């Protein structure tokens, strides 16, 4: 399905089985037939093009509000507006919320956001008074999205395309690493931060960071985030 519809498709649970749904045209329906030997087609309901918005709801983490541009932030919130069309994270995933919760409790200082995605953590850090903030990601699209979101939110952060496994990473007070557990363990020895917040993995995982000791853990919906202190 990803090869046929790289723009995305929908998964619907149907009594113990999973139905895969693609919004397409007659040519796309024909591709489905060739690939799977069968498919059913129905006309879509009016307003189908806006259904994806139902999956992007605002989240509140302490003073922070993270939401899409068509929602209005409360007046008492520090608003981080993320366009879901840019993907790479909208703040709704448990790991992002756990990182934000950890960030709220940390002393203010310089921040390195490794694997910044859409820039949610970097933007939130800047709004909370951390600085300077450097966001890095190996993906060009993620860097472009973070830069665009920084402009849209009028937040001053540095954004750089870099591979954290090979690039020279600056010394900072706080590093944020919300990526896969294997990558967390690989990048850990290259970090030069006093405190490191890691996430992107299940509560059953506990990646070890060389030269650091774990001093705190948060869990939500089966996911985890850890706080590490340099020894």
Quick check: is 52 in a domain? Answer: no
Residue range(s) defining the domain that contains residue 224: 89-230
Residue 93 and residue 37 share a domain: no
Residue 143 and residue 38 share a domain: no
Residue 175 and residue 96 share a domain: yes
Quick check: is 84 in a domain? Answer: no
Quick check: is 63 in a domain? Answer: no
* Phi–psi pair at 8, nearest 5 degrees: 125, 155
Cα Rg of the chain, angstroms = 20
Give pTM, 2 decimals. Answer: 0.78
- Number of domains observed in the structure of the chain: 2
Quick check: is 56 in a domain? Answer: no
Residue 133 and residue 19 share a domain: no
Q: Tell me, what DSSP letter sits at residue 20?
A: E
Quick check: is 58 in a domain? Answer: no
Which CATH number does the domain housing residue 116 bear? 3.40.50.150
Instruction: Summarize pLDDT for 221-230 with one digit per residue, the tens.
Output: 999 999 999 9
Quick check: is 2 in a domain? Answer: no
* Pair 212, 194: CB distance under 8 Å: no
- At 94, list the tokens: 């448990």
Residue 177 and residue 100 share a domain: yes
Residue 32 and residue 142 share a domain: no
Residue 99 and residue 193 share a domain: yes
Instruction: Summarize pLDDT for 65-78 with one digit per residue, the tens.
Output: 999 998 999 999 99
Residue 124 and residue 30 share a domain: no
Mean pLDDT, residues 154-173: 96
CA-nearest of 228, 126, 211, 106 to 177 is 228
Instruction: Summarize pLDDT for 170-193 with one digit per residue, the tens.
Output: 999 999 999 988 899 999 999 999
Quick check: is 167 in a domain? Answer: yes
């Amino acid at each position: 399905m990803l090869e046929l519809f790289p723009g995305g498709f929908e998964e619907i649970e149907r009594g113990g089985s999973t139905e895969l749904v693609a919004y397409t045209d007659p040519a796309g329906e024909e591709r489905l037939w060739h690939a799977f030997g069968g498919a059913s087609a129905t006309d879509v309901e009016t307003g189908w093009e806006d259904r994806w918005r139902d999956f992007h709801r605002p989240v509140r983490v302490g003073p922070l509000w993270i939401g899409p541009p068509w929602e209005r932030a409360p007046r008492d919130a520090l608003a981080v507006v993320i366009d879901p069309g840019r993907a790479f994270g909208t703040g709704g995933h448990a790991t992002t919320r756990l990182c934000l919760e950890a960030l709220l409790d940390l002393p203010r200082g310089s921040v390195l956001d490794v694997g910044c995605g859409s820039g949610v953590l970097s933007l939130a850090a800047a709004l909370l008074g951390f600085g300077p903030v450097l966001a890095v990601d190996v993906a060009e699209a993620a860097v472009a999205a973070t830069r665009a979101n920084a402009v849209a939110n009028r937040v001053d952060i540095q954004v750089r395309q870099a591979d954290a496994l090979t690039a020279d990473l600056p010394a900072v007070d706080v590093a944020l690493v919300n990526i896969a557990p294997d990558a967390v363990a690989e990048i850990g020895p290259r970090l030069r931060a006093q405190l490191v917040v890691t996430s992107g993995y299940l509560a059953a995982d506990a990646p070890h960071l060389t030269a650091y000791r774990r001093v705190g853990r948060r869990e939500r919906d089966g996911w985890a985030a850890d706080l590490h202190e340099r020894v």
